Amino acid sequence: MTTATLEREAQSRLAAYGVRFTRGRRAVVLALAEAQGPRTVAELAEVLGPSVPVSSLYRTLTVLEESGVVVPHYGTRGLTRYELAEWATGHHHHLVCIECGTVDDLEIPEGLEQRVEAVVEELADDQGFEPAGHSLEIEGRCRSCH
């Protein structure tokens, strides 16, 4: 997805939610587009510098989440991470380092993906659970933490 398309889509979702696509919001969306996995507020603050103060960063991420532009990820100790929603990234999974906490994106083979989805539908139904998505994460030690 090109940057222009990404911006247009984000713009449109924010508009549908009834808010503007401001400079700060654009900066956060673009920073997340550069990332190879979900990012913490601290990591984003590092990349963005003082142009987006931390209090604004938190508020921006909340707005982006509520408008469906980003999704939160809670897979690592004590820290919430954010990434662009699946309309932007495509469906994918994660490698989570249990040592340093970094999270990287990961694609899995289409065949497995389809079987996972089938099982998700079936099991969820059995339990009176209304499925909205699934996450498959591989936990272990990343290259740097071996």
Q: Where do contacts with Zn ion occur on this chain (CB under 5 A)?
A: 97, 99-100, 142, 145
Site for DNA in 11-70 (CB under 7 A): 19-20, 22-25, 40-42, 51-56, 58-60, 62-63
User: If you ran DSSP here, which 8-state letter would residue 49 be given?
Assistant: G
**Closer by beta carbon to DNA, 51 or else 144:** 51
What tokens does 74 get? 């809670």
User: What is the rounded CA–CA span in Å between residue 34 and residue 13?
Assistant: 20
List of residues 6+ apart from 92 with CB closer than 8 A: 86, 105, 106, 107, 108
Quick one: 16 or 100, whose CB is closer to Zn ion? 100
Nearest to 80 by CA among 62, 66, 105: 62
Is residue 5 close enough to count as binding DNA by CB under 7 A? no
List Cα–Cα distances, 49 to 65, 69, 145, in angstroms: 21, 22, 27
Say if residues 73 and 83 touch (Cβ distance below 8 Å): yes
Partner touching 1 among DNA, its own copies, Zn ion, none, CB below 5 to 8 Å by kind: none
Q: In the complex, which residues of this chain contact Mn ion (CB under 5 A)?
A: 83, 105
Pick the binder of its own copies from 11, 56, 80, 89 (CB under 8 A). Answer: 80
Q: Contact between 115 and its own copies (CB under 8 A)? A: yes
Q: Which residues pair with 79 in a beta bridge?
A: 76
Residue 118 phi/psi, 5-degree rounding, is -60, -45
Interface ranges with its own copies (CB under 8 A): 72, 74-78, 80, 95, 97-98, 104, 106, 108-109, 112, 115-116, 119-120, 123-124, 127-143, 146
Interface ranges with DNA (CB under 7 A): 19-20, 22-25, 40-42, 51-56, 58-60, 62-63, 78-80
